[in-house]
């Protein structure tokens, strides 16, 4: 199986690739959108601003390539951190106007700031937090609800449909920690930095 890690100029690719190698899976770093079809499933990392990441996807043809693979070929996709946020309809971090920046639209919803949602704790949210499961998911098999995962973020995806929220964490406000719709999933936490539980998430996705 070829696990394609999208290399679009942002994201912590090294740690994701090393985590996959620990699972005895050979990651394929895909740095051209035209090569995306060769992978069996896809991981979309993301670090930084929603708008900056989306511009990178748009600039190099990734947006259309991802839509072709996910919507046309039903290829499994896992978004990590800002990669999860990019699954939404739109986001407001770094947007140049009030209408926001369009996302990929795989998981209906918007990406909002923690402060705007009412969080009074320190932002960005950095550290380990317990994740409570809302409904069964293949991505979470073998992991107890309440397990800690590692987060680094100031914004969060707010799904339009409650059924798309698979797990939540509490950080002053309820945050969607895992989302899923069809064969598209996202984790707001970093599984590659979340020890055994995070590696289990990656293993479940690969399998």
* Model confidence pLDDT, tens digit, residues 78-105: 999 999 999 999 999 877 888 889 999 9
Active site residue 37: no
| CB-CB contact of 125 with 170 (8 Å) | no
CA distance readout (Å), 119 to 110, 111, 167, 170, 188? 17, 14, 18, 10, 16
125 is catalytic: no
Containing H/E element for 41?
strand 41-44
Instruction: Tell me the pTM.
Output: 0.96
Would you give the DSSP letter of residue 156? Answer: E
H helix or E strand, kind and range, residue 174: strand 174-181
Tell me if residue 192 is catalytic: yes
Cβ count within 10 A of residue 34: 9
Eight-class DSSP state of 138: G
φ, ψ at 51 (rounded to 5°):
-65, -40
pLDDT tens string 20-78 = 998 988 899 999 999 999 999 999 998 889 999 999 999 999 999 999 999 999 999 99
Q: What is the CA radius of gyration of the chain?
A: 16
Q: Which of 69, 81, 119, 125 is catalytic?
A: 81
Query: Which position among 69, 93, 125, 190 bears the catalytic label?
Result: 190
């Amino acid at each position: 199986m070829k696990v394609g890690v999208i290399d679009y100029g942002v994201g912590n690719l090294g740690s994701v690739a090393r985590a996959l190698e620990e699972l005895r899976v050979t990651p394929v770093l895909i740095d051209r959108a035209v090569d995306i079809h060769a992978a069996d499933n896809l991981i979309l990392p993301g670090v930084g601003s929603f708008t900056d990441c989306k511009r990178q996807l748009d600039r190099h043809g990734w947006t259309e390539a991802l839509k072709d693979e996910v919507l046309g070929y039903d290829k499994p996709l896992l978004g990590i951190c800002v990669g999860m946020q990019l699954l939404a309809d739109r986001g407001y971090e770094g947007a140049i106007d009030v209408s926001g920046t369009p996302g990929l639209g795989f998981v209906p919803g918007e990406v909002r700031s923690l402060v705007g949602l009412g969080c009074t704790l320190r932002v960005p949210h950095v550290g380990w937090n317990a994740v409570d499961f809302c409904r069964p998911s293949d991505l979470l098999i073998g992991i107890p609800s309440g397990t800690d995962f590692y987060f680094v973020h100031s914004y969060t995806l707010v799904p339009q449909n409650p059924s798309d929220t698979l797990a939540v964490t509490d950080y002053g406000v309820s945050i969607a920690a895992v989302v899923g719709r069809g064969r598209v999933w996202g984790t707001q936490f970093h599984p590659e930095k979340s020890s055994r539980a995070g590696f289990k998430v990656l293993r479940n996705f690969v399998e």
